[in-house]
Chain A
Amino acid sequence: MIETPGIVALFVMLAAVAVAVARQRNLFGVVVLTGTYSFLMATALAALDAADVAMTEAAVGAGISTVLFLGALNLVGSLESKPMERPWIPLALSLLTGLLLVYGTYGLPAFSDPHAPIHTHVVPRYLEQGLAETGVPNIVTAVLASYRGYDTLGETTVVFTAGIGVITLLRRRRRREEGGA
């Protein structure tokens, strides 16, 4: 069975890239590493049978996010961040929080456990009757657009609001005023 070792290998690569992002000072390098991280995350999601999510993560994370970061870097102008001096307190805080979280995850179900609560509550109904009730074989689309359509309406509104927010922040007037606004 090649699935689990492959997933573990992808997780290790993700961790390595995250550490590299933390250590990298050149902002352009940070952006490129973030694109790499998004591609690895999309591959890991595809290995976890999340096809829709992997496609979205690849398009949004590796595509749009990289374009946005490069556009912002072009406007901001600086390409080098200052070196980190004495990062001991953030490091200690992160380690402590991480240990507490790992202790907390011992109560969660193990990997690929078919008796976990997530598989026994409402999802069997979606899987068995989704095709008959909505006529759509892709259960993720059926749940997203039909069973949980309100959530998707809210999310579309969030995207709209973010667009309006960026328009308000970054538009220019006809007569350019110093300091903007």
Chain B
Amino acid sequence: MSLAGHFGYWATVFLMMAGLFIVISRGNLVKKLVGLSIFQSSVYLLYIVPGKLVGGTVPIVGAGFTVYSNPLPHVLILTAIVVGVATLALGLAIVVRIREAYGTIEEDDLLAADARAD
């Protein structure tokens, strides 16, 4: 098992699990959105780390360079970053409306309020 060759994936998995833990542990809605954005950014690493070639350069064709890092993951992750911030904006708008409707953004209090209302 090449330990040195897979460190990128381990960093990805660690960040992904940190984000997952923040999301699924009971708590504040804003902090859950922060955990979600950490989760999403770990996926950027998952895509871009395999595309990197040590000794290569940025994929902009220029004189004097022969080895380029892979441009295809960059394209996909550009889209992913912008979609991530769009999701974040919508999520925060919903949190604001929840706060105005319930008066709290703690998940425990929200579930209790909903249980009382039923």
* Residues of A that sit less than 8 Å from B by CB: 1, 3-4, 7-8, 11, 14-15, 18-19, 21-22, 27, 30-31, 34, 37-38, 41, 44-45, 48-53, 56-57, 60-61, 64-65, 68-69, 71-73, 75-78, 81-82, 84, 87, 90-91, 93-95, 97-98, 101-102, 105-106, 108-114, 116, 118-119, 122-123, 126-127, 130-131, 137-140, 143-144, 148, 151-152, 155, 158-159, 161-163, 165-166, 169-170, 179-180
Contacts and interface: CB of A to CB of B under 8 A. Distances in A.
Nearest to B86: A162
B61 A158 contact: no
Contact of B1 (A77, A106, A127, A148): A106
A14 B49 CA distance: 15
B61 A98 contact: no
B27 A22 contact: no
A159 to B, nearest CB: 5
Nearest to A64: B85
A49 B6 contact: no
Nearest to A166: B93
Main secondary structure of the interface of B (DSSP, over half): helix
Contacts of A14: 11, 15
Nearest to B38: A18
Given A34-B37, A52-B74, A162-B86, A95 B68 contact: no
